[in-house]
């Protein structure tokens, strides 16, 4: 039984090393980003970016690693900017979505609800990052607000 465990562990570590090499090759333009078992940004050491698989997902989506931000008061990166598409992305471990100029918050959209109970929001109104229905992203800053509202709602 112990041998099976050691073999599984060996192949898991081998796969992690392969992913680390792949990440480092794709992220060569980001000198301040380090990949071991998780991705670290030397400029923001307290912000958790994710594991190597998540880092590869960010690069494949075209999200600029230097644009990563956490929610206000948070420590986990959950929004980032894609320069080629000119769109902001918001995500959590559950889902992701991109937002650009011209996007509209519709009824039932995750951007229009904070994910908190109304009773909680009465006590902590500053936690409500949701946007009103009909909000239109006229600038990239508005699209960023939508990405923040989305990330807050799905996290």
Under DSSP, is residue 33 helix (H, G, I), strand (E, B) or coil? Answer: strand
Domain ranges of the chain: 1-60, 78-155
The residues near 115 (Cβ < 8 Å, ≥ 6 apart) are: 152, 153, 154, 155
The residues near 135 (Cβ < 8 Å, ≥ 6 apart) are: 104, 105, 111, 142, 145, 146
In the chain, % of residues over pLDDT 70 = 94
Q: How confident is the model at residue 34 (pLDDT cuts 50, 70, 90)?
A: low
Tell which residue, 143, 41, 15, has the closest CA to residue 88: 143
Question: What is the rounded CA–CA span in Å between residue 3 and residue 90?
Answer: 43
Please tell me which residue, 39 or 56, carries the higher pLDDT value. 56
Exposure on the CB side of residue 129, measured as CA atoms within 13 A: 19
- For residue range 125-152, list pLDDT tens digits in order: 888 888 999 999 999 999 999 999 999 8
């Amino acid at each position: 039984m112990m041998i099976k465990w050691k073999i599984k562990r060996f192949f898991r570590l081998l796969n992690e090393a392969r992913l680390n090499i792949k990440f480092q090759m794709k992220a060569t333009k980001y000198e301040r980003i380090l990949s071991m078992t998780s991705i670290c940004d030397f400029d923001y050491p307290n912000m958790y970016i994710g594991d190597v698989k998540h880092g590869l997902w960010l690069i494949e989506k075209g999200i600029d690693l230097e644009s990563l931000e956490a929610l206000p008061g948070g420590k986990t990166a959950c929004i980032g900017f894609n320069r080629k598409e000119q769109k902001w992305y918001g995500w959590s471990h559950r889902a992701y979505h991109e937002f650009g100029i011209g996007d509209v918050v519709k009824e039932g959209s995750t951007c229009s609800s904070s994910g908190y109970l109304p009773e909680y929001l009465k006590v902590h109104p500053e936690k409500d990052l949701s946007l009103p229905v009909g909000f239109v992203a006229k600038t990239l800053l508005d699209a960023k607000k939508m990405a923040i509202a989305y990330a807050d709602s799905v996290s």
